[in-house]
Amino acid sequence: MAIQYAARYPDRVAAVILIAGAGLKRRRSLSFRIRAFFLRMMGKAARACDRLFGTKLAAAYAARFGSADYRKAGDLRPTFLSAVNEDLSEQAQSLLCPTLLIYGALDDATPPEIGEKYAALISGAEYHCLKGFGHLDILGRGIWQCQTLIDRFLERHSS
């Protein structure tokens, strides 16, 4: 949302700070794409069986193969899927304000490659990859490193 807002209203945003920010497509291996295709087809087949025969295969399928985030999304699942699959490349390229990008080296939800892509798209972006941190613990155990980077960034870019 920060990237969309900053792109849409550049006069209202002095700087952007993203920590493990999503919004760009990830490179996926051929084997991953093939597996994802078959999993999608099996999910559609399970939903069709539910409609035709009154089974509960879709719920069992989602519990077995859906990600933890997907399972926990509940009624917000469509919003979650929309956010996860969104591509903010064009908006990122249009950013004019200073941007700080912080990613955990061990993050598998929003891996450092996304931060590197953002750094390439956003003119003058400052990218940091924190070793030893994943998606959930970058703001837990890694809070002090994040705070230091943010404080320094804001000192340089405050008016």
Domains (range + CATH), the chain: 2-25+87-157 (3.40.50.1820), 30-83 (no CATH)
**pTM exceeding the 0.85 threshold for the entire prediction:** no
Tens digit of pLDDT for each residue in 10-20? 999 999 999 99
- Tens digits of residue pLDDT in 19-62: 999 999 888 899 999 999 999 999 999 999 999 999 999 989 98
**Cα-trace Rg, the chain:** 19
The stretch 149-157 carries a mean pLDDT of 97
Contact 146, 129 (CB under 8 A): no
Q: Position of tokens 């390229």?
A: 93
Helix/strand/coil percentages in the chain, nearest 5: 55, 10, 35
Distance CA 114, CA 120 (A): 10
Mean pLDDT in residue range 86-103: 96
- DSSP letters for 67-110: -HHHHHTGGGHHHHHHHHT---HHHHHT--S-EEEEEETT-SSS
* Per-residue CA distances from 127 to 7, 36, 46, 100, 150 (Å): 19, 30, 43, 6, 12
CA distance 73 to 76: 5
Residue of higher predicted confidence among 120 and 78 = 120
- By the 8 A CB rule, do 110 and 21 touch? yes
* Whole-number percent of the chain with pLDDT over 90: 75
